Amino acid sequence: MEPGARAVPATLHTLRKNIDSIPQGVQSVVEQFSVPRQQIISDLNNVSHSIGFTIHSLLKEQVYSVLEAIQGRAQDLQNSLHHLQILHKTVRTLTHFQDELGLALRDRKESTVSLLDSPHCTSCARALGKAQSLEPGADYSRVPSVEQVLKTLSGLPKANFPDLIDQGNSTFNSMPDLAVAKMAQVVQDLKDEVNKVSKKVQSIADSFPVSDYTQPLNDALMQAENKSRPYLQEVKHYEKYRWIVGIVLCSVVLLVVACNLLGLSLGACGLAMREDPSDYESRGEAGAKFLLVGVGFSFLFSWLLILLVFATFLVGGNVQTLVCKNWANQEIYKFIDTPGNLPPSTNLTQLLNLKRTLNLTSAYQECKKGAGLWDVLQLRDAYDLEDHLHLSQYTRDFQKRLDNFNLHFEEIHFLDGAGRRDLETFRQSGIDQLDYPMFQAEMQNPVVRTSLEDLARDLEGLRKIQRNITIAGRLANESQALWKIQNATVLTQEALVVKLNESVQFLSAMAPHLQLLLKQTMAEIALIETMLPVQAQRLLRHEIGCFTRKELGYFSQYLNWVRRTLTEDVASCQPLATALDNGRVILCDRIAEPWLYCLRGDLSLPHPPRYSSQAIGRGLRHLQDSDSR
């Protein structure tokens, strides 16, 4: 009895603790809002910089392309102006050298032709043809003039293109910092909204009505636990009496057994030693007396043991049959649910506030499966959980602030008025309309139609074969004069022609694409200056939309978890079913069933010895007859 009795208050205490833990469990669930709250606050700390960086990353290709185009057109303007100046200066220099070269060649031509045509000049006919070609080859006065173009581009660039590019680049790169500064207030407002949501979530625990339903049960369990403890003390007290009674009964049984054993032993011993009549008579008589004492004790105490067995079988058997068996197969719950079996005042369905669709049997089965009090008690009628866990009531203001936020990005001007005028002047300068093929055609003509080097070498060769010393000296003089013109004028002009050719090549390669490049650059600048704020605003709305969905996902996930936890885990009625099962185990397995097992097999009850008074009398007479003999 004692272990089962001791388990009663322990079971009641455990069940009461489980019921007491429901409000703390609800509060713990509510406090777990700190997890999504910290995540949302962390996201808010980074959202402004993240949005600004995203906008910057998505637009930087277009912006950098425009800045690169502006830098390219500014470089084209600088290079074109540089090459135009070289071209103009070189043409003027070549024209000046051309006049000097023409006078020098004319003098050398007359002198050399007259010398080579002299009859005293030996083998001079072959060199005479070259001497007659001593004339300027290219006429640079015929190339188009670039003076008008230079006049148009004079003073350009008036705008500081490097500063414009740096300024545009710096303004665009400051977008993330601008977003942080512009969104600082709305981020703080959103953090305040999250703190307000924490207070709203706390209202779930404050208004959750489980305690209203569990408090009466908790009070009843407290009262039952308090009342059971004195009984436990009584059980401990009577446990001493049980031991005393048990020891006494066992001692009586042992005494009966001992008397029987002694009687039989002494009787058998007396029969074995019958040669001595005196010993035989005393031992046999003592054995008979012990048997008589054993019979007396058996008849004296057997009715007490029979009553004990009867009482235990009566109580234990009825409890086992009527209560335990029906409790194990749940028939007892059906009996309680059947109208009329219990008084109307003890309707457990109403007392426990079970749902109208449930009775004690179905409620026990649902609790056994792990159902929550939410599904067993009539909580839905008193508390609309869905209304308290509706997402919009927690996120309405949060989402509204994000939807109403609007960040106006400042307009970025990649070119000021001076820069636009410079590029427009460059486009209308006519640099692309110059006759570059005429430049190239004229530069293909040699500076001198014949090679002064070849003619000078020929004259030196002729000098060596002349017999006339005077002719030989004149040939040497003419050769030296040609070398002087070659080194002093022709080589200089050829170098200028190479330099001129580089500028013409650059300008002729750029000129066909100049108008298209400038138009595209101006159009790209106008487009990006117009579309950049619009695209930035569109990207801002998109990023805010993504951020809103992400944060609302945290709220939704938490509220879904709260719904599942409150209805399935925190307010679970499984401990009630477990307590009922524990009660059955205490009553049946620990009290009633051990009685029956003990009485059926484990406890050997003393039985009266199978001796009658007639048998004892015959034994005594037999002893007397043996004594007389």
Contact 623, 281 (CB under 8 A): yes
pLDDT of residue 621: 41
Model confidence band, residue 213 (pLDDT cutoffs 50, 70, 90): low
Cross-strand pairs, 372:
572
Write down the mean pLDDT value for the chain.
79
pLDDT digits (tens, 9 = 90+) for 220-279: 667 776 777 776 677 777 778 878 888 888 888 888 888 888 888 877 776 666 655 555
- Is residue 548 over pLDDT 80? yes
pLDDT of residue 553: 92
DSSP 205-266: HHH-THHHHHHHHHHHHHHHHHHHHHHHHHHHHHHHHHHHHHHHHHHHHHHHHHHHHHHHHH
pLDDT of residue 39: 93
Lowest-pLDDT range of 295-304, 373-382, 448-457: 373-382
- Is residue 607 over pLDDT 70? no
- Is residue 606 over pLDDT 60? no
Q: Tokens for 211?
A: 């305690």
Distance between CA atoms of residues 276 and 257, nearest Å: 29
Q: Tokens for 38?
A: 């910290």
- Is residue 113 over pLDDT 90? no
Lowest-pLDDT range of 442-451, 540-549, 563-572: 563-572
pLDDT digits (tens, 9 = 90+) for 451-464: 888 888 888 888 88
Distance between CA atoms of residues 511 and 429, nearest Å: 11
Can you tell me the mean pLDDT for 100-127?
79
Q: Which of 170, 168, 162, 171 is nearest to 74 (CA)?
A: 162
pLDDT digits (tens, 9 = 90+) for 363-376: 778 778 877 776 67
pLDDT of residue 583: 80
pLDDT of residue 554: 92
**Higher-scoring residue by pLDDT: 515, 218:** 515
H/E stretch holding 386 = helix 385-388
Distance between CA atoms of residues 366 and 353, nearest Å: 15
Lowest-pLDDT range of 109-113, 406-410, 615-619: 615-619
State the number of CA atoms in the 13 A half-sphere of 351 facing the CB. Answer: 12
- Is residue 29 over pLDDT 80? yes
Can you tell me the mean pLDDT for 104-127?
79
Model confidence band, residue 623 (pLDDT cutoffs 50, 70, 90): very low
Distant-in-sequence, close-in-space partners of 463: CB < 8 Å, separation ≥ 6: 472, 475, 476, 479
pLDDT of residue 355: 66
Distance between CA atoms of residues 153 and 619, nearest Å: 161
- Is residue 407 over pLDDT 50? yes
Q: Which of 304, 522, 306, 542 is nearest to 414 (CA)?
A: 522
Can you tell me the mean pLDDT for 327-342?
78
pLDDT digits (tens, 9 = 90+) for 451-502: 888 888 888 888 888 778 888 888 888 888 888 888 888 888 888 888 888 8
Can you tell me the mean pLDDT for 20-36?
83
Cα-based angle 434, 439, 440 (whole degrees, multiple of 5): 125
- Where does residue 300 fall: left (phi above 0), alpha (psi -120 to 50 degrees), or beta otherwise? alpha
Model confidence band, residue 609 (pLDDT cutoffs 50, 70, 90): very low
Can you tell me the mean pLDDT for 383-403?
81
Which of 65-79, 103-117, 212-226, 466-480 has maximum average pLDDT?
65-79
Sign of CA dihedral 614, 616, 619, 624: negative
DSSP 80-104: HHHHHHHHHHHHHHHHHHHHHHHHH
Helix/strand/coil (H/E/C) assignment for every residue in 288-344: HHHHHHHHHHHHHHHHHHHHHHHHHHHHHHHHHHHHHHHHHCCHHHHHHHCCCCCCH
